[in-house]
Amino acid sequence: MLRGPGKDLMQAHIRSVMHGHLVTAAPTDSLLDVAAQIAAHGISAVPVVDAEHRLLGIVSTSDVVSLLHDGTPLDGMSAGDVMTRDPISIDEFATAGEAIGVMRNALIRHLPVTREGRLVGMVTTADLIRHLLQDLAPEVA
């Protein structure tokens, strides 16, 4: 039988779960370049930031796939043209449990992490699963 995630794991600060190495884009970056970064790095979203690394928006795989499916050419478009503006984000000192709640309520799979309004990381549902599985182990009979 497996044990569920412990309280300590749910109370961990999200900064201990997030990815700190980010692929980001400026609003003026080519959407074709952003799509290439998504494909090259196997990521589900690229945060769009200004020169001070403040979060402006996010371009997700869903955004790119929708355009491609509709036959919309990506060349000539920028990240700023298609990004979701003012995306939901979470402070680095929020807990894993709080991040799960935000992601469940907003029906999102990636959540930008901020410190004083500046992007410092990204947490995904896969990151949270890996984090919570740390406490799961078969019980010894």
Asked if residue 77 is part of any domain, the answer here is yes
| pLDDT at residue 20 greater than cutoff 90 | no
**Domain of 116: which CATH number?**
3.10.580.10
Q: State the pLDDT at residue 136.
A: 65
Q: How many domains does the chain have?
A: 1
| pLDDT at residue 46 greater than cutoff 90 | yes
Q: Counting beta carbons within 10 angstroms of the beta carbon of residue 99, is it exposed (0 to 12), middle (13 to 18) or buried (19 or more)?
A: buried
Place of tokens 């549902």: 125
Instruction: Please tell me the distance from the alpha carbon of residue 117 to that of residue 108, in angstroms, as a whole number.
Output: 20
Joined tokens for residue 81: 């043209």
Q: Which domain holds residue 114?
A: 7-133
Asked if residue 2 is part of any domain, the answer here is no
Asked if residue 139 is part of any domain, the answer here is no
Asked if residue 122 is part of any domain, the answer here is yes
Asked if residue 138 is part of any domain, the answer here is no
Mean pLDDT throughout 23-37?
Answer: 97
Q: State the pLDDT at residue 7.
A: 67
| pLDDT at residue 5 greater than cutoff 80 | no
Asked if residue 49 is part of any domain, the answer here is yes
The angle subtended at Cα 106 by Cα 104 and Cα 107, nearest 5°, is 60
Condensed to tens digits (0 to 9), the pLDDT of residues 81-94 reads 999 999 999 999 99
